[in-house]
Amino acid sequence: MNNTQVILKSRPKGMVTLENFEVRTGEAPTPGEGQLLVKNLFLSVDPYMRGRMNAARTYAANFEVGEVVPGRTVGRVIASRNPGFAEGDTVLTGLGWENYSLSAERGLRRLPDDAEHLSAYLGVLGMPGFTGYYGLLEIGRPRPGETVYVSGAAGAVGSVVGQIAKLAGCRVVGSAGSDEKVAHLLELGFDGAFNYRAAGSLRKAVRSACPDGIDIYFDNVGGETLEAALATMNTYGRIVACGAISRYNDAELRPGPNNMFLVIARRLKIQGFIISDHEAHRSAFEADMTRWLAEGKVRYRETVTEGVENAPKAFLQLFTGNKIGKQIVRVG
């Protein structure tokens, strides 16, 4: 069996490009004692991966040049010499961008046999959904009647945040990068949404969309959007610092928000988080999200790219805005 792999060829300097990756094809490995062979079905591309492509370490080990790009996948066990898994088991892994992955039991999670939408375990039922759920409910602490503003709202995390905020009785506003995405947010039940690329003054756009101020800002973007949100925050507001995708490809650091004094004047709370620190909350998330999906209270979209060799193109789409919802690669 041929095994196509995507390798990190070089570390990006500034905006990531296709030249930072290399596609190789070789023979699929054979499992040894205690190992199993997984045929990957879907793989995930996520914004956090950009930071791990740099040389400087962040909150997790950086990716190694010359190695298969690590990433979350859903796959099926096709050969097993490990008593913990049988051929035919469906598993969630962190093995990476390739057709076939060799693994021991560590880091694998068996998925339900009756899982209807396997790719959802990389999105709404996976890390992005869990991130939105925990960040909003445990850090944002929404209360009925409050205004929640979500940036990057048409993405995998932001769209979940907005829908859960609605379930919590909040007024929800989102910003996204196209009119198509704005229409999608309104279809999901957001009370208001705007295209930040066409907004002109971002501060005015946020203020117009949130005339009564912002009680909770769920930040996926950072930069100028964070600055605009700060200017509109209500006293005792909460800022959930989840991501800063507008800055991930900067070759040099840029000055931060020029109005951070408002954190003091308005007694704001800003808290960042890494979802892997909060596994104790996963079972509650999965129970709630499974129920909401079954009841139609949470909906999701995926942008699907075909073929593992096109994973770099799918990754670049995270930063060009050419996708709605969760970016998925169907390995094929």
Q: Are the C-beta atoms of residues 196 and 225 closer than 8 Å to each other?
A: yes
Closest CA to 180 of 322, 9, 55: 322
Share of the chain above pLDDT 70, in %: 99
Question: Higher-confidence residue: 266 or 103?
Answer: 266
Amino acid 251: pLDDT: 79
Q: Is the dihedral of CA 166, 168, 173, 177 positive or negative?
A: negative
Taking only the tens place, the pLDDT of each residue in 133-165 is 999 999 999 999 999 999 999 999 999 999 999
Task: Say yes or no to pLDDT of 56 above 90.
Answer: no
Residues 6 or more apart whose CB falls under 8 angstroms from that of 224 comprise 202, 246
What are the φ/ψ torsions at residue 195 (nearest 5 degrees)? -90, 110
User: Which pLDDT does position 58 carry in this prediction?
Assistant: 78
Beta strand segments in the chain, E: 2-8, 21-27, 36-44, 73-80, 90-93, 100-103, 109-110, 147-150, 171-176, 192-195, 214-219, 233-241, 269-272, 302-306, 326-330
Q: Is the pLDDT of residue 115 over 80?
A: no
Q: Mean pLDDT score of the chain, rounded to an integer?
A: 94
What is the average pLDDT across 216-223?
97
Q: What DSSP state is assigned to residue 309?
A: G
Close Cβ partners of 116 (under 8 Å, ≥ 6 residues apart): none
Residue 60 is predicted with a pLDDT of 78
pLDDT value of position 145:
98
The pTM of the full predicted model, rounded to 2 decimals, is 0.94
The model's confidence at residue 255, banded by pLDDT at 50, 70 and 90, is confident
For range 61-70, the mean pLDDT: 93
Whole-angstrom Cα distance, residue 105 to residue 101? 12
Confidence of residue 183 (pLDDT cuts 50, 70, 90): very high
| pLDDT value of residue 236 | 98
Q: Within 13 Å of residue 23, how many CA atoms lie on the same side as its CB?
A: 12
Using only the alpha carbons of the chain, give its radius of gyration: 20
Which of the two residues, 56 and 69, has the higher pLDDT score? 69
Query: 79: which strand partners?
Result: 37
* Cα–Cα distance measured from residue 81 to residue 121, given in angstroms and rounded to the nearest whole number: 25
30: exposed, middle or buried (C-beta count within 10 Å: 0-12, 13-18, 19+)?
Answer: exposed
Q: In whole angstroms, what is the distance from residue 104 CA to residue 85 CA?
A: 10
Q: How would you label 240-266 residue by residue, b for 16+ Cβ within 10 Å and e otherwise?
A: bbbbbbbbbeeeeeeeebebeebbeee
Over residues 312-324, mean pLDDT:
92
Question: Cα separation of 223 and 230, whole Å?
Answer: 11
> At residue 55, does pLDDT exceed 90?
no
Question: pLDDT digits over 17-50, tens only?
Answer: 999 999 999 999 899 999 999 999 999 999 999 9
